[in-house]
Amino acid sequence: MIAHVGLTRMTPPMNPKWNGQFSCFDLVAKKDDCSRSIVQVGGIEIGGGDFVVMAGPCAVETEAQLMQTAEAVADAGARILRGGAYKPRSSPYAFQGLGVEGLKILRKAREATGLAIVTEVMSEEDVDVIAEYADIMQVGTRSMENYSLLEVLGSCGRPVLLKRGMTATLEELLRSAQVIAMAGNPQIILCERGIRTFETATRNTLDIAAVPVLKAVSHLPVIVDPSHAAGVRSLVPVLSRAAAVVGADGLLVEVHPTPEKAMSDGNQSLTFGEFRHMMADLQPYIELQQESRQLRPQLLVAGGAD
Ligand code: PEP
Ligand code: MN
């Protein structure tokens, strides 16, 4: 039984500091009629009623690794394949990705499975080539404030998955979304991927409140990346569940055939079996959320406490 807290079309005040002044991100701010944007990728709707899971390895390493992963995540219910061909790494000595070779492997995986492709773009110089292969252009946490890249993405003709900078406020995330929208591209998906705090038990701190706050102030779809938030695979299923319950429109999850041998982010990557179990376990939570969304089309978010 789901509590019915009232069908209201009004957004109550957010953090009073924002003071209802959303002019710095007016193109992506909630519309008067509360209608939401749906980002269409082939037959997939992100931000509509569906919970869309994007899954795959941190980086494209080999054709075999990506093909096996694509088959496994598609069988488990993912709709979109992730995999970096251009990798921003914490260490300059770490694997930087296969570049165009990786993009070609991603294309093969799309042809074999029908999955759409999301992959990261780090530099404006690579936008055209990546847009030839990708269905969604991912902007990583380290690039959220790279305004020259964001401006070029305004005319790339592909939806953009914009990750929150690891030290960025939600307002800063929305301003970056505004830059892309102002440059001509309204197809934007926001992604909470954990922020840097004093906590060291997890790689980052998943700001779960970011989801209802973003959905209350913006019409854009919002997804969660539990992998980079957690940094360890054991936490990924429970954080995914939390994301579904708070109203996320989907997930971005790292999955690898042999995580212990992964060239990047193996610790946080799920095995195929773990991903399959997670997807099955998520179903009741997704249904609960979809039911509550019908009862409460407008999420209520209280104003900040003084
Ligand atoms: C990634 O998705 O592999 C990645 C590098 O993520 P982030 O930009 O969130 O660190
Ligand atoms: Mn990664």
* pLDDT tens-place string over residues 192-219: 999 999 999 999 999 999 999 999 899 9
Measured from the CA of 143, which atom of ligand 1 is nearest? 8
pLDDT of res. 292 = 72
Give the binding-site residues of ligand 1, using a 6 Å CB cut-off.
58, 84, 88, 140-141, 163, 193, 225, 228
From ligand 2's centre to the CA of 143, what distance in Å? 14
* Closest listed residue to residue 268, CA positions, set 223, 235, 303, 304: 235
pLDDT at 301 over 70: no
Section 149-158 average pLDDT: 98
Measured from the CA of 191, which atom of ligand 1 is nearest? 9
pLDDT at 300 over 90: no
* Confidence (pTM): 0.92
Measured from the CA of 140, which atom of ligand 1 is nearest? 8
From ligand 2's centre to the CA of 277, what distance in Å? 21
Task: Please give the Cα distance from 297 to 172 (Å, whole number).
Answer: 26
Neighbours of 258 (CB within 10 A): 12
pLDDT in tens, 274-290: 999 999 999 999 998 88
Q: How confident is the model at residue 59 (pLDDT cuts 50, 70, 90)?
A: very high
Task: Please give the Cα distance from 114 to 126 (Å, whole number).
Answer: 24
Residue 24 φ/ψ region, left for φ over 0, alpha for ψ in the -120 to 50 degree band, beta for the rest:
alpha
